Structure 1
């Protein structure tokens, strides 16, 4: 076994590994390759793979938490090992590589995610569970009917939008998003990289609700084959409690289904009652859960 920095050519193996461990996560080969080759700006992003007999059996990413005024938190994301290669020290070695990467970045706290059966591993390495995340799935053959928008609301695919308008709506809607770290400093360049230029973003299916020339709500979906990931659905605070989140998400799901998508996945913090209620009404059903876990560095 050896741990090394990920290379763009690892993308197919990384995606295959992810589908084995996290079948409800959606990120295709092209966007994974780009992420490795052209990492997010200004966040100190890197990724490591674990190899056994030249086969990728483990993966982890590490970076400074972006989009937040809290600058000393680092993310160790998607640490996972193939089921056939667990309990051999691979996960610990990947975690050590990620931690060593974060140390010189001035990181004081670290956040990672663990499935319930991995919480003992997290605790052994100094992490304590913080928040529960629910993963849900929807068979799009069972998606609810799409109703017409209310008077004064226009539904538009985001492909028709000025990205700066969508960025402004994203920034405004994310400020009170439940989580360990506030999402209160979304830079345009970082947002454009993470969202608008993501190769998996389906701009024809992703939908926004426009009111008086402003983006009031939107639902973004990323696609890989016949699966989509409902990446983020948000409503600008001034337009909440009008049913717009459900409206745009339903429209995005119908547009994706019309183009051959069969199943949609999403995730929500268990404290995000309004969005969980929207997803339950749309027919989403829980398929897995994870916990965010926090630790002090050093």
Structure 2
């Protein structure tokens, strides 16, 4: 059976994530130790004990979710879990996928996403931009409404094309205010403001992408050893140069998640395992295809379920 691994992004974090695996598996403990050393502070304590407000700061969330995801992956490997034929990650989760593919070293990735979070936060002053989830309206319609609402000084864009009927928009405060009535008029069931502090993946993030490009020049990025489908293209990145380019553009470009999953299905994926905290991606995959098996690994209970599932279908 061809199994794809997918790695979660921001909004999957919670206090206590990874704690059980760190306690019971030396492989997970080693990943958290490496993260603490790479960053120069106890990220592991933040993951296991909080406080939640600090964990939810973008510059902390990004390395925390990456580290927990890679700890889950190492445990899965150590117990003889399934081997993926392809990988993808949602936004920051793409870094987890690239570490899993051998394209990025873990210590480099954890430092990069810490900086990525800082740059994204600093690109737009706090309170001057945000994001909202649009429910019940097709992606093309959301894109069209955003274009209609945009004008000089009003920025609003469709930035997470997650699954049928769920698109996230981002922009400045004027853009968010202008687009909501237009989306409802076009038939959106709900427009829900998201608890994030910046308009991620919008063109307002171009300065963050430019700053990240400088840091990406300082790290070694290898050709992926396992196929990775990138967010920006919903296609395979085959070389280190393609990976670098996609990571820069990803900061200020839409996450084409529905198309990413469709690409993995086209490549032959029969099952998906979400590796890392939460089940956000599992829910999105279910809405994209009801034909595939979906499971997740974030603790011992879910680990056992994945092992049982793969034994069952192998």
- TM-score tier, shorter chain, comes to under 0.3
TM-score (norm 1): 0.28
Larger helix fraction of residues: 2
Structure whose residues are more often strand by fraction: 1
TM-score by length of 2: 0.27
